[in-house]
Amino acid sequence: MQYSNYLKQIAALIKEDPSISVRQIAAELKFADSKSVYYWLEKGNISGINEFKRMVLTEKDQQAIPFVLDINDEVRYLVDLPLYSWNIDQISPISNWYYLHNSSQPRGLFAIQVGTNELNPWFAKNDLLVISKEKEPEEGSWVLLKSPNKYLIGKMINKQIVNPNSLEILPANLKTLGIILSQNRFFLAKDQQ
């Protein structure tokens, strides 16, 4: 079931009548009582009807209504992440990347597109990585690092971050940007590389 369908229906009712009450929304959607409206708002990670009305009625927040999926009885939200280039000098995002996450407003997530084949076979040029700044590296996790002149990827082994190709311990003075949550590999035609 897609939870967002109820949120879209509630949003449509609010657009029709901005002063509609929760009881009226429940009646229109044939819910047993008004608690069901609050249930679906909570499933969408929305704290109440007034917040949702503001989101719906404010033009700039039209994209704030979350797209929600139920995947194997787990709720997932489609979130918009900034996508960065592998070029360390480019500090602004080059685009956006959409990612399914268990929170509609996750903190500390971004995406980066690998720009080198130095890390083959684990990571290849054009792989797209989703990074979490919030999670601490654990045994076996892949970590995105930054030196003064380039990005690096290491693997946490025995509480140390190592180069996956040489198994040499990476210097401790490298800045840890976060752990890799997911990897998407894209194969491009030669003329697109």
Least confident span in 14-18, 26-30, 65-69, 176-180: 65-69
Q: What is the mean pLDDT of residues 68-94?
A: 83
User: How far from the centroid of its chain's Cα atoms is residue 172's Cα?
Assistant: 28
Q: What is the pLDDT of residues 110-149, one digit of tens each?
A: 999 999 998 888 999 999 999 998 888 899 999 999 998 9
